[in-house]
Structure 1
Amino acid sequence: MTVPFHVDRPALVRQLRAAGCVYAEDEAQLLLDAADSPSALADLVARRIAGEPLEHLLGWAEFCGLRVAVDPGVFVPRGRTALLVDVAAELVGPSASVVDLCCGSGATTLALARRLAPRRLAAVDIDPGAVACARRNLAGLAVPVFAGDLFAPLPPQWQGRLDLVVANAPYVPTSAVALMPQEARLHEVPVALDGGPDGLSVLRRVAAGAARWLAPGGHLVVEAAEGQVEELGAQFRAAGLVPRVWHDEERDATAVSGRRPD
């Protein structure tokens, strides 16, 4: 794209690289594309150097080949979560009944809509900002986004009828949140990051509730850290689910699925 004003691109790239932006060249182009004047560009660059997430500055993130709107404060979808989408698509077929818990911007929900063509699809989040953002992203698909805690806001008649539940729930231990990159810990809501003392507080509750909502043969799929899979597998088994671990070294991603026996 041609920028309608003069810019010293090499200097811009150097500024971003000095601020710690690993993909400085790519970020420079995205910021240039987003700015319509030198003052707008200067503002975006200053905010990026100060640590604001690039996705919040642009207003969107790329996920599974889709452009997803991301509002300030809302959890930015990570590339590693594509593994969760891949696993879900492998485990269930088209026309499935699907719920995405802890949906954030609705990025995973959007990707599942494209991959699975489900007969029923819904999303849930407890953060009001995320709910508003997801509703905007999913409006064209008429996918309901429920505000509330995990399974609590879902229609009771869905119990025992879901083929797939996915959750990119927070799994960072509380003590490790302070060690996360500034753009995450300062600009994303804590409820989307903090998974409790060992990182599994929310995921334990997801596993405990899933068996009641899944149909026989249905699957729960969650994202987790590699070091959490043993304990998480035990929680799945305690909930009556048969666990399976999935790794993707290239994306540095781990997912755990749990099948409700027939």
Structure 2
Amino acid sequence: MAAPYPHDHTALVARLRAAGCVYAEDEAELLTAAAGSPRELAALTDRRVAGEPLEHLLGWAEFCGRRIAVDPGVFVPRARTGLLVEAAVSVAGPAPAVVDLCCGSGAISVALADRLAPRWLAAVDVDPAAVACARRNLAGRDATVVQGDLFDPLPPDRRGRLDVVVANAPYVPTPAVALMPAEARLHEAAVALDGGADGLAVLRRVAAGAVDWLRPGGHLVVEVSDRQAEALCTAMTGLGLLPTVLHAEEWDATGVLARRPE
């Protein structure tokens, strides 16, 4: 049975805080703005207290200063992934050919489309719900969104010609998925979270594919945890890539930027 609906802002904030919402004041304002009526606000509050991600309730997430539509079940873009955008922009060069793997909502592609004006941009995800969401977010931009496994659905004539490959691939070790917050574990697709036994299974495949799909001098940019970065760099070096670990304290983010040698 749903808890009694709080009829004032202070009570709403208190209820959200009691449910473990760290930014209860901000969430209360966002939920209130999103609701069309007191009844709808009550329903949204009940769902948030029950553990649904705020972004799924609002229908959007803020990423790199943009509102990105986020459908139920689709991976919610995190602020820390802004590190990948900044890294990609720093190495892309003029009018680059860019691929965004494991694109989820398409948040990275939206940011890169706006900042780089790529000559060719493709976003790829294996999850049909994510692909549908990314297509909505990228509508009106010159970008292709395709469903498939990593590089598989890309046109063969792009092999060896990409300037930048960006991938926010899953990197949570399988045993750790069960320890994630319920709002991620229960409401985001498992395929967007589970990175295999050590968390690097998908990222190793991304790196191996990038060797063939990047042009000489092109770059791969991926997100990873701090404790996994060294092992990923070792794997990349073994494939012939030249990796560098990236850190952004303001986002508590870690990534790896790897160049294919000339």
> TM-score range, shorter-chain basis?
over 0.9
Poorly superposed stretches of 4+, deviation over 3 Å: none
Residues of 1 paired with 2:191 and 2:261: CA distance? 32
Q: Distance in 1 between matches of 2:54 and 2:256?
A: 29
Distance of 1:128 and 1:142 partners within structure 2: 20
2:101 counterpart residue number:
101
Matched, 1:138 2:141: no
Shift of 1:7: 4.5
Q: Which runs of 5 or more residues in structure 1 are unaligned?
A: 1-5
| Cα distance change, pair 116–142 in 1 and its aligned pair in 2 (3 A) | closer
Give 2:51's aligned residue.
51
CA distance in 2, matches of 1:23, 1:230: 33
**Secondary structure, in 3 states, of the residue corresponding to 1:85?**
helix
Which residue in the other structure is 1:20 paired with?
A: 20
Deviations 1:103-156 (A, max 9, x none): 000000001111211111110000010000001111110311110000000000
* CA distance in 2: counterparts of 1:86 and 1:143, whole angstroms: 19
* 2:256 alignment counterpart: 256
How far apart are the structure 1 equivalents of 2:50 and 2:122? 36
Distance 1:30 1:142 in 2: 31
Q: Counterpart of 1:15 in 2: which secondary structure?
A: helix
1:76 aligns with 2:76: yes
Cα separation, 1, equivalents of 2:247 and 2:119 = 28
Equivalent residue runs for 1:1-262 within 5 Å? 7-262=7-262
Aligned length: 257
Give, as a single letter, the amino acid of the residue that structure 2 aligns with 1:78.
Answer: R
| Alignment partners' CA distance in 2, 1:164 and 1:36 | 42
Tell me the TM-score normalized by structure 2: 0.97
Unaligned runs of 5+ in 2: 1-5
Cα drift, residue 46 of structure 1: 0.1
Amino acid aligned to 2:227: G
CA distance in 2, matches of 1:214, 1:142: 21
Task: Report % sequence identity.
Answer: 70
Q: Deviations over 1:153-210 (max 9, x none)?
A: 0000000100000000000000000111110000000000000000000000000110
